A and B are shown apart, each in its own frame.
Chain A
Amino acid sequence: MRHNDLQRAAAGLSYLRGLRLIPAGFLLIVAALANENVGPLRDDWAFLLIAGMVGLAYVPIARFYREHYGRMSPSARQQVREGAALVAAPLVMVAGASLLRSGASWSLDLPVNALAVAFAGVMLISYAAGPGIRAHHLVIWGSLLLVGAVPLWDGADPSNVGLVLAGIAVVASGVLDHRLLVRTFGAPRDA
């Protein structure tokens, strides 16, 4: 038994609650469809309604995890680290995406999907800096990074395609996180 292994296990039990990511992934996809004025999503109220429903889906998921895998309060140090990451991540993502491809004079203006690359990069960095990268994170976020970095994204702004790809990656990562949680800590019925 190792000190760090046990502490990592406790952290894993908290962050591998991947089903919580599914509503966020769907929200990214819905946002992209709303940007493209697809179907009823061309109306703002339809997007807000769906976003609200997606947000509500988080409640039973959180309850499921609380009942079957327990609850913990992170340490003050961990809370500070998570808060800093929460503030830094969107800033890094916007700055990174603008640097890669935007109308700004300082942009490199590369033929890449800047949003996909920036999103994948931020996710990989945040996993590496926080709970640790697992194999499926490398596969999912690495694939998104590669797909986004292929210099074939010329022409119209591909941000919405990037949002959809990011949404799919978030859902896939969440499902695999949950599978790993169940494999490591047991199925819900075992509680």
Chain B
Amino acid sequence: MPEDELVLDRLIHEPARLAILTVLSSVDDADFVFLQRATGLTQGNLSSHLTKLETAGLVAIDKRFVGRKPNTSVALTPEGRKGIARHWSQLERLRRLSDPTIRERAPRATRAPRAARPASP
């Protein structure tokens, strides 16, 4: 297994952003309040993480008015959908590598993977 396949993207791996992306991966789109409730993040925290994810092109943010109230709708971009699916598959592979019972069954995959690469800009 090439080592690069197990190098984690730190932008996605940060717990709050991983939670946001995972929640978004189970829906078509969600608004700010829904994400806040589902992830348990504060308003400021969620806002800051969403900005980073939008800058990285992983989510698309649509600000509009529903009735007279402003509403922020967030959805994964195709890159974001691929990114989060890949990330969870990498984590699953790492988990399998660290599980001794699985390692014994697959002795070739015992080599420890490299740590996460530096954060994406």
Contacts and interface: CB of A to CB of B under 8 A. Distances in A.
Contacts of A6: 19, 22-23, 26, 38
Interface in A1-27: 1, 3, 6-7, 9-11, 13
A72 B19 contact: no
B29 interface: yes
Interface stretch (A28-36, A41-49, A62-70): A62-70
A10 B27 contact: yes
A186 interface: yes
Contacts of B26: 6-7, 10-11, 75
A136 interface: no
A72 B18 CA distance: 18
Interface in B10-48: 15, 18-19, 22-23, 25-38
Contacts of B29: 72-73
A71 B28 contact: no
Contacts of A127: none
B27 A73 contact: yes
A87 interface: no
A59 interface: no
Interface residues of B, number: 22
Interface in A148-191: 185-186, 191
A191 B37 contact: yes
A72 B37 contact: no
Interface in A43-89: 67-76, 78
Contact of A9 (B18, B32, B38): B38
A76 B30 CA distance: 14
Contacts of A3: 22, 88, 91
B23 A9 contact: yes
B36 A1 contact: no
A16 B25 CA distance: 19
Nearest to B91: A3
Contacts of B38: 6, 9-10, 13, 70, 185
28 contacts: A1-B18, A3-B22, A3-B91, A6-B19, A7-B22, A7-B23, A7-B25, A7-B26, A10-B34, A13-B34, A13-B38, A68-B33, A69-B34, A70-B30, A70-B32, A70-B33, A70-B35, A70-B36, A70-B37, A71-B33, A71-B71, A72-B27, A72-B31, A73-B27, A73-B28, A73-B29, A186-B37, A191-B36
Interface of B: 15, 18-19, 22-23, 25-38, 71, 88, 91
